[in-house]
Chain A
Amino acid sequence: MTHEFRIGAADWERLEVLWEIASTLPPTERDAMLRSHSVDDALREELESLLARASAAEAFFDRLKTVVSEAPTEAADAQGDPPVADPIIGSTVGHYRIDAPLGQGGMGIVYRATDLRLRRTVALKLLRAQRLDDSHAKERLLAEARTAASLDHANICTIYEVGETGEQLSFIAMGFYPGETLEQLLRRGPLPISTAVDYATQIARGLGAAHQRGIVHRDVKPANVVVTANGVVKLLDFGIARHLDIGASHDRTTTPGTIAYMSPEQLTSGAVDRRSDLWSLGIVLYEMCAGTRPFGGEHQGAILYAIVNELPAPAATLRNDLPARVGAIIDRLLAKDPVQRYSDVEALIADLTSSTLLRALSLPMPATRGLRNRIAWTAVAIGAMAALAAAWPATRRPAPSERRIAAQDLYQQGHRDVLFRTEAGRLEALRFFRQAIAVDSTYATAHAGLAHLIVMISDNAGGSRREQLLEAEAEARTAIRLDDRLAEAHASLGDVLLFDYRFAEAEAEFNRAVELDPTTPYVREFLVWLYVFMDRPSDALEQAERNVKENPTSPTAITEQARGLLVNGRCNDAMPLLKRLMLLQPPPARAGVIAAQCYAQEKQWQNAIDAVRPVAENTPLQGAPWLGFMFARSGDVDRGREIRDTLLVRWRRGEVGAYGVAVAYAGLRDLDEAFAWLDKSIDDRSLRYNIMEPAFTDLRRDPRFDRIRQKLGSVR
């Protein structure tokens, strides 16, 4: 038995603290809390997986304890026969023995029962018989229920049998799933968005399987959705609802809830097809996110009127962390005109599981979906947002703040750690930021964010960075002009200046940012780079350690701490940190380069090569030069030269900066070439702070290095 999951004592303590906070918060506020505590993904996943099963676990242990310690004889002695509230308990229906009531459904009572033939527990629904006297209707019901029984899908409650026992009772025997209905779950409040999207996807999958066989559910609602202890959604009551409910509603006081999920066409014409199920799912998704139904009202009439005539409040107004994409999906599901909804469930599932949305929600991504999908989606989302921005000012709040809200929303979608970590994610964030500025050009935060992102992207892109730095500087200065007291604005100007090698100015901007807001994201990481570049190792380490103190679980903070240790000759202290970082998927590129340098000092060449190999695979422009460097130093000069040659070709094509070529030459100890290329790398701004790191020790001892220093100091 392998149990790969074992967390360190510090993380466990942190988990306990987070558990305590999170378990007192409504699910809607947990995301924000986790963000504000800058919880890393692994811990966050662990916490969420535990929180998700908290109530199921409690019920389980409660039950287990009862079962283990039940003393049936004592109870019987004290109270005589067990109380029998419902005379049907203990009796048999067909070959089912009825054990206990489970709940009251719209069509009758559901019992836990034992299938005496197969010795398994089932849920048995006993149907009210009075409306079934019309034998034609009954035939239709049975025919349809039998079709439903033929459905075999993980998200559909299995129907074992539909049967009759004489005149009075019809029954449906179905799978018994310990868990809660979505209705019960929602009584405790809205769900985390990622959970809501997950459940909606599972419901949609169940519906998809049914629709394929021409079965429409007709009664999608939280009470018909069971969530098992494993988080698997089971959709109940397929294709049975119509005949019974509509017939029965005359003689039963229907609760307002029952029509709340019905589509406009269902309520007006009764003409129902699969798109009606999509509407109902839209209401359920809305309710899972917002905690309330879109069409409220105390009376049936009011609800009915609202469903047919009114537009619901956008779910985002009830839930500020709702990604615009989810809002757009809800809007589309709740189109009054069925034609404007998704044409089929598959299209909905594609949107619910689009990699962009999943990434925005930090959910694991299916591997198959490519960039094209994301771009298409971005276009849809932005289109919807633009339409919203255009349509609202006339009827709602004044224009500027509306624009600002839309811009903030777009900015928030781009501003996520998960996006910042990968190249594709950064490009996507870039699009969001540009859109935010397009919607509201006076939004300083978006300008600052854009400047920072351009610097980051140019750091990993090939060729000359000069133009990108110019653009970033313009954005950063715009941000400062719009809001001089915005810490991010100064920080992002610092980013630009750092890579433009104007170190003193950069330091001033970073310090200003820290002064305005000591928690400004990334600023201390850039300060580490700055001080490494300025050859002030102890200042670098100090900044790195303060950063880690503030963000103890941030991979980038830990990476920079390792760098701080590296430049202070403390690889022994850096290695444990680096080993932890290497467990991340993908491992941070910068950590790989640091680790390789530590291994190189110990002449552990194979380890050094292994540390940069994934970097070279994931981000070739950053990693390949270092792979070449480590090969060359390990004695495999041929591989070192091979990579250098490739880099030269790529440099000519403008795909890689001069600095990459310099690293490869440095590895080969071809100092003449290395210095020539370092010189060029100042011109194209690809030179990085690593030249002050151990890998370049021999170059720094060479008198020619002074020229590099001078040139760096005299930029501008």
Chain B
Amino acid sequence: MAETDATAGVTVLLDKVRNGDPAAPGRLFAVVYDKLREIARGQRRRQPSADTLNTTALVHEAFLKLFGTGTRDFKDRAHFMAVAATAMRQILIGHARRNSALKRGGGQEPASLEAIESALWSEGGFAPPAAEALLALDAALERLQQQSERQSRIVECRFFGGMSIEETAVALAVSTATVKRDWSMAQAWLHREMQRELG
């Protein structure tokens, strides 16, 4: 029963978001965020050794749990995923922060981007290099938001939400060409900013 209530609740919320209710996005975000966290915790309980979060799978699972199957169209899905992408970002960054603090212990010099990059090819999951990279990305993304809100949203959708070009375009109501351009430019910009920060 609770599940159905939740489903009805998000459906209504999603419609409200689409109709411009100013309070709706925040409430939808909270619901999605909780759901994602819940799934992520469950996933890690099942796989304590796998210290990774499959973002795309998580988002999909959350969508299914919140909306059931086959009820909403592509547009709704895209809007939902865009919200989930922001939630995912917070979850991942929180995770990275804990990981980074735990593993680094303090007093240590942060690794350079180059070092992180090369480590990413040899290590996986939430080993410190990935955590450092995510934290630096988060900081850079905040600065990107000051330059271009749209580009930062596109990065959230593409990177944290695992959304396709088309889904991102629909969710943010821009053309696919814009998404493609912004995505490539934002990656270059963020990479440069991360390098400035990390050296």
Contacts and interface: CB of A to CB of B under 8 A. Distances in A.
Co-assembled chains A and B: yes
Nearest to A114: B122
A67 B120 contact: yes
Contacts of A12: 147-148
B6 interface: no
Nearest to A76: B50
Interface string A51-63: 1011011101101
A270 interface: no
Contact of A23 (B50, B56, B159, B184): B184
A122 to B, nearest CB: 9
B125 interface: yes
B90 interface: no
A150 interface: no
B134 A54 contact: no
Contacts, number: 121
Interface stretch (A1-9, A314-322, A487-495): A1-9
Given A51-B188, A53-B192, A63 B121 contact: yes
Name the residue in A51, A176, A229 with the highest tally of chain B Cβ atoms < 10 Å from its Cβ: A229
Contacts of A71: 47, 50, 52, 54, 57
B187 A57 contact: yes
Q: Sort A-B residue pairs by CB-CB distance and give the 10 closest, nearest first.
A: A57-B191, A71-B54, A50-B188, A121-B122, A57-B187, A69-B55, A57-B188, A19-B185, A54-B188, A69-B54
B114 A230 contact: yes
A121 B118 contact: yes
Contacts of B124: 67, 70, 72
Interface of B: 47, 50, 52-57, 92, 113-114, 117-126, 130, 133-134, 137, 143, 146-148, 159, 162, 181-182, 184-185, 187-193, 195-197
B118 A60 contact: no
Given A3-B143, A69-B52, 12 more contacts: A19-B184, A51-B188, A57-B188, A58-B187, A60-B187, A64-B133, A67-B52, A67-B124, A70-B54, A72-B124, A176-B118, A229-B113
B50 A72 contact: yes
Contacts of A69: 52-57, 162
> Size band of the A side of the interface?
35 or more
Nearest to B119: A121
Interface in A42-97: 49-51, 53-54, 56-58, 60-61, 63-65, 67-74
14 contacts: A19-B184, A20-B181, A23-B185, A57-B187, A61-B190, A67-B123, A67-B124, A67-B125, A68-B53, A68-B130, A71-B47, A71-B54, A71-B57, A176-B121
Interface centre among A51, A65, A71, A114 (most CB of B within 10 A): A71
Contacts of A68: 52-53, 55, 92, 125-126, 130, 134
A178 interface: yes
A65 B53 CA distance: 10
A54 B181 contact: no
Contacts of A230: 114, 195
A51 B189 CA distance: 9
Contacts of B162: 65, 69
A99 interface: yes
B185 to A, nearest CB: 5
Interface of A: 1, 3, 5-7, 12, 15-16, 19-20, 23, 49-51, 53-54, 56-58, 60-61, 63-65, 67-74, 99, 112, 114, 121, 176-178, 228-230
A103 B125 CA distance: 25
A16 B55 CA distance: 29
B112 to A, nearest CB: 9
Contact of A73 (B50, B182, B191): B50
A332 B137 CA distance: 46
A60, A74, A229 — which one has the most chain B CB atoms within 10 A of its CB? A60
A177 B118 contact: yes
B133 to A, nearest CB: 5
A591 B157 CA distance: 45
Contact of B147 (A7, A65, A228, A229): A7
B98 to A, nearest CB: 14
Contact of A229 (B47, B114, B130, B159): B114
A1 B139 CA distance: 11
B117 A178 contact: yes
A19 B181 contact: yes
Question: Is chain A's interface secondary structure helix, strand, loop, or mixed overall?
Answer: helix
* Interface-central residue, B47, B119, B143, B188, by most chain A CB under 10 Å: B188
A178 B185 CA distance: 21
A178 B114 CA distance: 8
A20 B177 CA distance: 9
A70 B124 CA distance: 8
B117 A50 contact: no
Contacts of A23: 181, 184-185
B117 A229 contact: yes
Contacts of B53: 68-69
Contact of A3 (B47, B133, B196): B196
Which of A65, A67, A70, A114 has the most CB atoms of chain B within a 10 A radius of its CB? A67
A23 B186 CA distance: 13
Contacts of A65: 55, 159, 162
A33 B130 CA distance: 38
Contacts of B188: 50-51, 53-54, 57
A367 B182 CA distance: 37
Given A12-B147, A69-B52, A61 B118 contact: no
Contacts of B181: 16, 19-20, 23
B199 to A, nearest CB: 10
Contacts of A99: 122
A334 B182 CA distance: 43
A61 B187 contact: yes
A230 B124 CA distance: 22
Contacts of A5: 196
Contacts of B56: 69
A52 to B, nearest CB: 8
A58 B122 contact: no
A56 B50 CA distance: 28
Contacts of A67: 52, 120, 123-125, 130
Contacts of B182: 16
A49 B185 CA distance: 11
Nearest to B54: A71
A698 to B, nearest CB: 47
Contacts of A50: 185, 188-189, 192
A495 B195 CA distance: 47
A480 B110 CA distance: 65
Contacts of A60: 117, 120, 187, 191
Contacts of A121: 118-119, 121-122
B57 A64 contact: no
Contacts of B114: 178, 228-230
B120 A6 contact: no
Contacts of B130: 64, 67-68
Q: Which of A57, A58, A112, A114 has the most CB of B within 10 A?
A: A57
A3 B92 CA distance: 25
B167 to A, nearest CB: 15
B185 A112 contact: no
